[in-house]
Structure 1
């Protein structure tokens, strides 16, 4: 989760990580590191090497602090590469003796303040899944892209660290997945629907390909495989949402069922959406503009952070993030995350628990544990959105 950088400090604002198997003896780790210089500009490679130290420890499990290995990461032009709005750190770790799995905890320390930023990644040295070995890479094949979406018609490459040429089956599903249910909706989830394959073809790893239509794409080594590598192909503006008929959808989380019905049935989505926001803000255009900007900024961030087999705003994490913003604290274990919010809606602390669930398309699928007791927190915050009281 990102946090604002303090003026006068070199600050890490977010870290996102992934491993790829090299062979049976080790794995390559990639960390996307987001940070700020004292003036607010993004960190450079020189900034990271001059102002930070990076160490790692491998543990047997989240609940088992037996150290299986440790080391430090030299920060230089080989181990740190600029990649758009962030830096990508690359280093290898060896498989510990008599361990096929480990939790890698990486610590990035700012040398002046001593402030530490942590990242944890479960590593499977016995690479059992396609996604343990292969990943979406940048078109030039240099760096893995730590996201589950691509824009339609962008050139993409699926590859491993060795650049192996391998034939994969690719299936496309054209399916509009449902958005998250309310945090108070404790009724049992509907049984998953089987998805109909819209297109099937063969592709080669380490070769540029294009995904020409929106939808969920699924790469597998064998048609009988239960798990593979999933990617959502989305329109060119994603993670931003700009088309009126798509802008209508995410306001679900702050709307009544009647408002949603009216928006969905409107013949002119743009006019209906303008009417919706203005009526909520009692006709005050300036307040409406601020609320719209704040809300859709959250939607865009949710899409960047939480897109899995469906757009990030539709996920359980995305819903909580849009309405409440980034958590003040995250507690993570092997199969769950707890988001802790402090001082929301006159409550000193509120927790949202997300349980990790198996998913054939992606590794990071989490489901919220829902409680009716969230009502006294949720409704006042939704009301603050509806009156334009929330500021970004």
Structure 2
């Protein structure tokens, strides 16, 4: 996820785009809109970088066709030395056509090359503008140009797309291929972890974490890049081209329904964020998880079944979206960002710097301009792992929103 603050209100995306209103308006049933952009990059070598933009583009209520997108939009980019500076390391415009724009599922995917500056680090600002209007959508992407680890030189490709996945997961038994940006093939080392990672702790828990226990590798094996693969076990697979590297390409293999949660025992997990310890412990002891979950929601809603059903749909829709947006080496709902998103929803503004994100909520309950700060932390599986800075002062903000979930006030 990368971008700037958006004026569009949508429950399904973080505010990743800054949209400036058009001087002209299309008919309501054909209104054009770019809801958000996500992005990633792959390094071909130390001199060339390939950038991928994943755009939610709509015409009315329908996803836009790639051919139409190329006729309506233009793309320009600038590479800055850092956030908050005006030092330009490179810039250009990209002619959009069928060679670099495709439709993958409901998204438009743009792939383009940039010349890498002779720097360790830079911020790429991509601007998509609608021809003949003032509408512009911005996306920012931090790039480490000299880092040649497997997670920035290899992409994960499925049969459904010629572009790499933006996400960190594949479903169990889903065919995929690992391809290097420069096209070369090689043998890769895989470390498999059958480990159930913990969910995020409370935003108010300022107690120092215990030293993490080292993870034990369950198995190791070799694979070939450029060959179709399938992983038949759920869990975390960390992939290296060279075992001396400290960071691999972490790939989470999840059940066939993910990012949705449908099995009763899995539905229990995210309730951690809106339940008491006693409630969670009692549900874990249950023999029939489905009956126990039904009773849990009905009890909270004082027996109001329609309200319970509505609350269940709202809550697990947030869980699904958190899985789509924030899954890293563990499921998105378990991450710090996922926890905040599930309880509080999409932030009203996101500010980024090199290794930090600040989410701002204009108003939640009686509180205004509430900030949550996430710091990027080194991680052996992914390069976009963020941890929340916790404060006891979040208590009067957090608990009223949790109570709103518990009484059915949040739709």
TM-score after normalising by structure 1? 0.96
Equivalent residue runs for 1:1-392 within 5 Å:
3-4=8-9, 7=28, 9-37=31-59, 39-96=60-117, 98-139=118-159, 142-391=162-411
Runs of at least 5 residues in structure 1 that lack an aligned partner in the other structure:
none
Q: List per-residue Cα deviations over 1:255-283 (Å, max 9, x = no partner).
A: 01111111111111111100000000000
Secondary structure of the residue aligned to 2:387 is: strand
Q: List per-residue Cα deviations over 1:137-190 (Å, max 9, x = no partner).
A: 123672110111110111111111233211011111001100000111111122
Q: CA deviation at 1:125?
A: 2.5
Tell me if the contact between 1:10 and 1:51 (Cα under 8 Å) persists in the aligned partners.
no
CA distance in 1, matches of 2:167, 2:34: 19
Secondary structure of the residue aligned to 1:358 is: coil
Q: List per-residue Cα deviations over 1:10-69 (Å, max 9, x = no partner).
A: 1111211111112232111111111221x2111222332233221100011123320111
Q: CA deviation at 1:126?
A: 2.0
Higher RCO (Cα < 8 Å, 6 or more apart): 2
CA distance in 1, matches of 2:135, 2:393: 36
CA distance in 1, matches of 2:287, 2:132: 59
Tell me if the contact between 1:11 and 1:110 (Cα under 8 Å) persists in the aligned partners.
no
Q: CA deviation at 1:91?
A: 0.5
Q: List per-residue Cα deviations over 1:328-347 (Å, max 9, x = no partner).
A: 11001100000111121022
CA distance in 2, matches of 1:130, 1:67: 28
Secondary structure of the residue aligned to 2:261 is: coil
Number of matched pairs:
389
CA distance in 2, matches of 1:305, 1:117: 19
For the structure 1 residues 140 and 270, does the alpha-carbon distance in structure 2 shift closer, same or farther, using more than 3 Å as the test?
Answer: closer
Q: CA deviation at 1:116?
A: 2.2
CA distance in 1, matches of 2:260, 2:133: 35
Secondary structure of the residue aligned to 1:384 is: helix
CA distance in 1, matches of 2:360, 2:404: 20
TM-score after normalising by structure 2? 0.91
User: Over aligned residue pairs, what C-alpha RMSD do you find?
Assistant: 1.6
Runs of at least 5 residues in structure 2 that lack an aligned partner in the other structure:
11-24
